[in-house]
A and B are shown apart, each in its own frame.
Chain A
Amino acid sequence: MKYFKLPDLGEGLQEAEIVEWHVKPGESIKTDELMVSVETAKAIVEVPSPQDGIIHTLFGDEGDIIHVGEPLVEFAGEEQEDTGTVVGKVETHHGSDISDDDFIIGASSGRTHASKRCTPAVRALAKRMQIDLNTIQSSGDHGLITAEDVEHAAQLHDEKGPLIKLRGVRRSMAKNMARAHAEVVQVAIFDDVDVHEWVEGNDPTMRLVRAIAVACKAEPFLNAWYDGKTMALRPLKTIDLGIAVDTPDGLFVPVLRDIGNRPIENLREGLDNLRAAVRSRAIPPSELINPGITLSNFGTIVGKYANPVVVPPTVCIIGSGAIREVVTAVNGSVQVRRIIPISLSFDHRPITGGEAARFFSAFQDDLKLPK
């Protein structure tokens, strides 16, 4: 600082009289040392030095009136710092979090969310009739929604019931299923697996999990991710099994990790935890991603066979129907046996029918075992 100006002494006082200087030109002074005593309308105020330095000039003699903002002293040997303006203060502030280094000259290209076009009157009409404009088919020029369109939608609403827009999990299911259907070349194989020899105490779900692990080891290509764009298959090192769980909110597929290396009791506990987390909607997103293969156990509700949808990048999904008794031929005789109907869907782009059948065979061999 080159000039030290009379500071605001508070209480709105705008001037002060110099009573006594405590320094002389040429003397040095340290921060907070007494520099000058001034008298305001209210009191004597001692003004300390704001910095270390040598006094070059005193402005005003004892008895002179100084106004707030006028210079009191000039320190020697200091250059007036360049504030970059003659009036006011130009703020310098670096490292701001507001960055606009990158910008688009003109309009951005994303025009996909163009809003529905209609006159304000029609917008108000739709609001009064509680019709969502986004659900309306427009009949006017260039997609303009007319009053008739809104009235037609309101009539449909009254006669047939309201539209429910898909949200959340159901919405992502709709997207994923449509994508899978567009992309995957899906083939399904069905069979009944004879589990009549099962001893007491077998846990059907865990037997299915174990059979999938065994089958994946026999045909590792079924536990893989396939990228259709680059035509590249990634057989996976661990077997992470997605298990479809039905909830009122929609379909969740929590992932049971590394089923090839964990004991059954441990897997059962893990699955119970996953299901509980799904039902309470407390499941972290990390538990819902990157399955290598999937099991849909719809038989716990009802049904024999299905063609469950293979969701990319996985290449295989197993559907299990309800355990039931059937009349069947065994070694030339008619018997009543317990079976599980199994459906296997696979993506025929990277996987051959032979691989799928051998996978299915290994799966059945393990599932048939008494325990």
Chain B
Amino acid sequence: MSNNTLPDLTMVEAVNLAMAHEMRKDENVVILGEDVGTNGGVFRATDGLKAEFGLRRVMDTPLAETLIAGVTVGMATQGLRPIAEIQFMGFIFAAMEHIICHAARMRNRTRGRLSCPMVLRAPYGGGIHAPEHHSESTEALFAHTAGLRVVVPSSPKRAYGLLLAAIRDPDPVIFLEPKRIYRISKQTIEDNGEALPLDVCFTLREGEDITLISWGAMILETLQAANKLAESGISAEVIDVATISPLDMDTILSSVKKTGRCVIIHEAAKNCGVGAEISAQIAERALLSLQAPIKRVCGYDTIMPYFRNESYYMPSANDILLAATETLNYE
């Protein structure tokens, strides 16, 4: 890679760059998962890493998520910093026993004698016309579990900075990669090893009239809606939550207290989604500043449909615009 001109990278390339950076720096960082080695990952996230770091550090596993998670917990407690890939988030359920019963509570259970510095990466979310169990957004399952940090990047730059932080974090991080935007845009990224904090939201647009809160792939539609609102003279503040557990409520509350109105957007089902928690905390702590009821634009409380009906399920920029307009017009 040339030192003079910085590369424009997609999000999946930024994920690859962050892992390669950390593997060069720290020999305890290892990768395991299905097709991550020779094949380079079905989305190419681990492309070229086996060639550079060898099969002792980039390990192809059998198609067995329980095994992947179990081995990862073992590696992490014994001094390695494993990055496990679950090929699609829909396959993660077989791994949950290890994630929830062991990874999440290792530090607490051993009274701090053991910790579990692992990252579990999984492409997630809909919008690529894949079968239904490849397309769900089940981040709330993990956000609800104490002891896990749940992080969702929404741009190449943030993917790079957040994944570096996740690998360096001393406790387990569920790193969910919105695959719909894996290659949708490029950003110039300097491979400088600078991590982004895992405990704050990112304010993508400053505004005064309404706060739009989202994360992951939905940031794209949210920014489109914000641009549309700007055309009619309405300035929307756009917050990328990024780390959905634990939540940075300070940033969210500070914005909502300023604007008095907010819409929460997520692709996951509405019922008990992370939006419900954000909404509840705003109601608890910023009720007096609210000028309109909080609105949520979410997926439906159904099984993710087969791909012909996928577009009906996914919130669109227009849905967000409509919700924002209703919120703004509320008297």
Mark A residues whose CB is within 8 Å of B.
82, 84-94, 96-98, 100-101, 103-108, 110-111, 113-115, 117-120, 123, 127, 144
- Residues of B with C-beta under 8 A to A90: 43, 128, 179-180, 182-183
Select B254's contact among A86, A93, A111, A117, beta carbons within 8 Å: A111
Q: A90-B183, A115-B259 are in contact. Are A120 and B290 (CB under 8 A)?
A: yes
| Cα–Cα distance between A118 and B291 once the two chains are bound (Å) | 9
Query: Which residue of chain A is the closest to B128 with respect to CB atoms?
Result: A88
Interface size of B in residues (CB-CB distance below 8 Å): 58
Are B128 and A91 touching (Cβ within 8 A)? yes
CB distance from A150 to the nearest CB of B (A): 14
Nearest CB in chain A to that of B237: its residue: A108
Is B138's beta carbon under 8 Å from chain A? no
Main secondary structure of the interface of A (DSSP, over half): loop
Q: Is the CB of A114 within 8 A of B258?
A: yes
B184 adjacent to A89 (CB under 8 Å):
no
> Separation in Å of the A37 CB from the closest CB of chain B?
29
The CB with the most chain B CB atoms within 10 A, among A93, A98, A105, is that of A98
Q: A93-B185, A96-B184, A114-B257 are in contact. Are A103 and B291 (CB under 8 A)?
A: no
> In whole Å, how far is A126's beta carbon from the nearest beta carbon of chain B?
10
Query: Whole-angstrom distance between the alpha carbons of A86 and B131 in the complex?
Result: 11
User: In the complex, which of the residues A84, A89, A117, A127 contacts B288, with contact meaning CB atoms closer than 8 Å?
Assistant: A117
Closest beta carbon of chain B to A143's beta carbon, Å: 9
Query: Does B223 have its Cβ within 8 Å of any Cβ on chain A?
Result: yes
Partner of B134, one of A88, A105, A114, A120: A88
Can you list 17 A-B pairs, Cβ within 8 angstroms, ordered by A? Answer: A84-B43, A84-B44, A84-B182, A84-B183, A85-B130, A88-B128, A88-B129, A96-B184, A98-B224, A100-B154, A101-B188, A103-B203, A105-B200, A106-B202, A107-B203, A108-B237, A113-B208
Which residues 183-241 of B have a CB within 8 angstroms of A? 183-188, 196-197, 200-206, 208, 219-220, 223-224, 227, 237, 240
Kindly state whether residue B251 has any CB partner on chain A within 8 Å.
yes
Instruction: Please determine whether A85 and B206 come into contact, CB atoms closer than 8 angstroms.
Output: no
Number of A-B contacts (CB under 8 A): 120
Q: Is B44 a contact partner of A82 (Cβ separation < 8 A)?
A: yes
User: Is B307 an interface residue when CB atoms closer than 8 A count as contact?
Assistant: yes
User: Using Cβ atoms and an 8 Å threshold, which residues of chain B touch A87?
Assistant: 128, 130-131, 134
Knowing A90-B179, A101-B157 are in contact, say whether A85-B42 is a contact too (CB < 8 A).
yes
Q: For residues 100 through 147 of chain B, which have their beta carbon under 8 Å from a beta carbon of chain A?
A: 127-131, 134-135
Is the C-beta of B155 less than 8 angstroms from some C-beta in chain A?
yes
Chain A residue nearest to B134 (CB atoms) is: A87
- Set of chain A residues within 8 Å of B206, measured between Cβ atoms: 104, 108, 110
| Cα–Cα distance between A86 and B40 once the two chains are bound (Å) | 12
Query: Is the C-beta of B12 less than 8 angstroms from some C-beta in chain A?
Result: yes
Of chain B, the residue at the smallest CB distance from A145 is B288
Partner of A115, one of B186, B187, B257: B257
Considering the chains assembled together, what is the distance between the CA atoms of A97 and B231 in angstroms? 14
Q: Which residue of A lies closest to B248 (CB)?
A: A106
Interface residues of B in 14-36 (CB under 8 A from A): none
- Which of the residues B158, B223, B255, B287 comes within 8 Å of A107, measured between beta carbons? B255
* A129 CB to nearest B CB, Å: 13
Given A87-B130, A115-B258, A115-B260, verify A96-B43 contact (CB < 8 Å): no
Partner of B43, one of A85, A103, A114, A115: A85
- CB nearest to B310 among chain A residues: A88
